[in-house]
Amino acid sequence: MHDFMDYCLRTYFKTIGWNDDNQYSNLCSASRAILDFQTPRGLTFAISKIQFPLLKASYSMNISPILNGSLGYLFTSRPLKVDSSERVNFMEMIDRFHINYVPKNYPHENFDNNGEDSKIKDYLLYGRLFVPTGRLEAIYSRKFSRWMQCVVTAVSDPRSKAASHVTTELQYDVGQWCTELSYTTDGELFGVRGLYNFTNYNQEEISTNSSNEESTLQNKMKKKDNDIKTPLVERNVFDVPSESEDDEEVEALKGEWSIGAELYYGVRERSGGVSAGIRYRTLPQFSSQSPLSVTYLINPIMGHMSAAFAAQVSNDLALCPRFNFNMYSYESDLIIGAEWWQREKSDIECENQSNDDTVNKITFLQGEVNGIVKATVGTSRGVTLLWEGRYGRTLFSLGLIADLTSRISPIRSVGLQFQYFS
């Protein structure tokens, strides 16, 4: 589960109209949400306060296994719409499988189209101090134009000077393609990344206000309503498919292909590397087919390959297998994960008047998500379980990591985290 500050950072980028999912570093975000989730360790409490729309504060304390904590502050140039932990949308607090698509050359309300000089230069300041270690983390983000922004992150650790570094990223995103230039003082590492999207649909077909869950529900309700209006006795197995059925088959083939690459070079180590990846994913606007994302990454220098297939097999269940293989050492690893959404029960009724004046009712149990359960099993890292939900006014996360092959201590770690913010 995202902590309060991470939630505010995501809200900020969403408010200024920046799409993080269009970056090469997030090419495998769909599979990572199911397989690479973090579990809490020990007992942790986090309390956050919305001082005013521009300033937020967060305090956390870990009681077990060791006593430590952190203080964090966030300031933004634009007010953020952040709800309390009691009323916040639970789907925005969890890292879940979803396909976040923003159309090419997307406009945003924060920018005035009358002139180039009228753009609002949004910025963000974030700092977090860990006690008693004294480790300090800071983020500065500045948006120069509609398509360009700069993000500077810094880490200062008094206990380890080698861990202290500063990273600067210059990002340019026009929707159809995105490039990133980066430099970090850790090893004097320079890097460049790029991602290009290929689509097989017309831009006019996209509605920017549609979402994955809403589109899926509306299509199902429409399909059920059409099935009711067509009497069962009038249907024939030899009937020619209608135009609507043909359109659904065509929409099932519509998706987006993305190709990206990364090149980096370390001046201090005098070594570099390269990686490339490809992704195919369905789009929420064409939801005749279940949402899915297929990715393939390769690092030819290190000989590492990774392939993942993430799909939502039902309204509340998503599955993802990932296979890693090294061409030089012949080492391989298989990880299988699943996430299950827990929903509140709510009745959505659709009425249809039949020929004999009887009313047929269809009830869809499609309530809001108030909990999620994740589980992974792998050949090298054992079993990982995570349960996230809401209890009263607080959000909680309960995690477990186990190694079933160990006879001495099969349970590696157990953690529980509570969050409250208002």
DSSP string over 354-421: -TTSPEEEEEEE---EEEEEEEEEETTTEEEEEEEEEETTEEEEEEEEE-TT-SS--EEEEEEEEEEE
What pLDDT does residue 179 have?
A: 95
Residue 284 has pLDDT above 80, yes or no: no
Between 45 and 107, whose confidence is greater? 45
Q: Which of 61-65, 163-167, 261-265 has the highest mean pLDDT?
A: 261-265
Q: What is the mean pLDDT of the chain?
A: 81
Nearest to 85 by CA among 41, 39, 47: 47
Half-sphere exposure of 275 (CA within 13 A, CB side): 19
* pLDDT category of residue 217 using cuts at 50, 70 and 90: very low
Compute CA distances 232 → 32, 220, 239, whole Å: 44, 19, 13
8 A C-beta contact, residue 195 and residue 27 = yes
pLDDT band per the 50, 70, 90 thresholds, residue 318: very high
Pairing assessment for the beta strands 347-353 and 332-343 based on DSSP bridges: unpaired
347 pLDDT tier (thresholds 50, 70, 90): low
- Tell me the backbone φ, ψ of residue 370, rounded to 5 degrees: -125, 10
Distance CA 263, CA 292 (A): 28
Both tokens assigned to 339: 């996430």
Q: How many other CB atoms are there within 10 angstroms of residue 85's CB atom?
A: 22
3-state helix, strand, coil in the chain (%, to 5): 15, 50, 35
Q: Is the pLDDT of residue 205 over 60?
A: no
What type of residue is 413?
Answer: S
Residue identified by tokens 């890693």 is 324
Q: Residue 15: pLDDT above 80?
A: yes
- Lowest mean pLDDT across 76-80, 199-203, 212-216: 212-216
Return the pLDDT at 66.
85
366 pLDDT exceeds 80?
no
Report the distance separating Cα 72 and Cα 130, nearest Å: 9
Containing structural domain, residue 140? 4-421
> Residue 104: what pLDDT?
52
Which of 129-138, 271-280, 328-337, 339-348 is predicted least confidently?
339-348
Residue 233 has pLDDT above 60, yes or no: no
* Backbone dihedral angles phi then psi of residue 107, each to the nearest 5 degrees: -80, 165
Q: Which residue type does 119 have?
A: K
Q: Of 218-222, 255-259, 280-284, which one has max mean pLDDT?
A: 255-259
What is the dihedral sign for C-alpha 150, 153, 154, 160? negative
pLDDT the model gives residue 103:
58
Mean pLDDT of 395-403: 93
Let me know how long the chain is: 422
How many folded domains does the chain comprise?
1
User: What is the band of 199 on the pLDDT scale with cuts at 50, 70, 90?
Assistant: confident
- The DSSP output letter for 28 is T
Phi, psi of 184 (to 5 degrees): -130, 140
**pLDDT computed for residue 369 by the predictor:** 86
CB neighbours of 406 closer than 8 A, spacing ≥ 6?
A: none
Cβ-contact 32, 20 below 8 angstroms: no
Which position has the token pair 């060791």?
Answer: 66
pTM: 0.81
The reported pLDDT for the residue numbered 406 is: 78
Within 10 angstroms of residue 230's Cβ, the number of other Cβ atoms is 10
d(CA 403, CA 406): 6
Neighbours of 74 (CB within 10 A): 24
| Cβ–Cβ < 8 Å for 120, 142 | no
How would residue 46 be classed by pLDDT, with cut points 50, 70 and 90? very high
Q: What is the CATH number of the domain that holds 157?
A: 2.40.160.10
Q: What's the whole-number mean pLDDT along residues 331-353? A: 76
Closest CA to 288 of 319, 247, 258, 318: 247
Confidence of residue 321 (pLDDT cuts 50, 70, 90): very high
Among the listed residues 23, 127, 123, 28, the one whose alpha carbon sits nearest the alpha carbon of residue 71: 127
pLDDT at 349: 42
- 12 phi/psi in degrees, rounded to 5: -65, -50
**Residue pair 5/74 in contact by the 8 Å Cβ criterion:** yes
Token couple for 146:
């509609």
Name the one residue in this structure whose structure tokens are 């959505």: 348
